[in-house]
Amino acid sequence: MRRLLLASGSPYRRELLSRLQLPFDYRAPEIDETARPDELPEELVRRLAREKAQALMAGHQDHLIIGSDQVAVLEQRILGKPHTFDRAKEQLLACSGKSVVFMTGLALVDSSNGASRVDCIRYTVHFRPLNEGQIDRYLNAEQPFDCAGSFKAEGLGISLFRSTEGEDVTSLVGLPLIRLVDMLNEAGVQVP
């Protein structure tokens, strides 16, 4: 079986990939994640997912390298990782009662020949109306400061949602497993 390499240092993505019960290694790539002028969110996540995987090709011959990147979009504005309590609170107040589209870029790159499969999976979160007390309690409990959109859907963050819609809930956490299995199968990896 081809060796798999996850181009990410994210513990959330590692946990998701481990669900497929395939052996894999992981390594965080070093790339510039700055958006290009006038680059649309979908273009950005597709490019970054591919670049993350390609960045590890040189040191990992004969691997299938998985790259992923995600942005949250609220009213045409990209929400990044908040990094602080105050920025997370600001993001959640802006999301209150609104819908946020999460776009997750996914790439599978074959390091032996450079062939790549790239896609963007969308998932929409419809937030409940939130007040400052709810937001403060949530942020103090879960501290999701390293998460786009300022919540952890796999944890208490689910309590902030009115509903969700999309084909693959794992894309919300940052690695769309349903589409990844399609890509792996196309590349000759049998899952399960």
Tell me the pTM.
Answer: 0.91
In the chain, beta strands by DSSP E: 3-6, 24-26, 63-74, 77-79, 99-110, 116-127, 161-166
Over residues 109-139, the pLDDT tens digits come to 999 999 999 999 999 999 999 999 999 999 9
3-state secondary structure of 96: coil
- Of all residues in the chain, the percent with pLDDT exceeding 90 is 86
Phi/psi for 144 (5° steps) reads -85, 45
- Tell me the CATH number of domain 3-186, given options 3.90.950.10, 3.40.50.300, 3.60.20.10, 1.10.3720.10: 3.90.950.10
Give the per-residue pLDDT at 168: 94
pLDDT in tens, 136-165: 999 999 999 988 889 988 889 999 999 999
Does position 1 have pLDDT exceeding 80, yes or no?
no
- Output the pLDDT for position 184: 98
Q: How many residues does the chain have?
A: 192
Comparison of pLDDT for 155 and 25, the residue scoring more: 25
Average pLDDT over residues 68-89: 93
pLDDT, residue 2, reads: 81
Q: Does position 72 have pLDDT exceeding 80, yes or no?
A: yes
Residue type, 95: C
DSSP lists the bridge partners of residue 101 as 73, 124
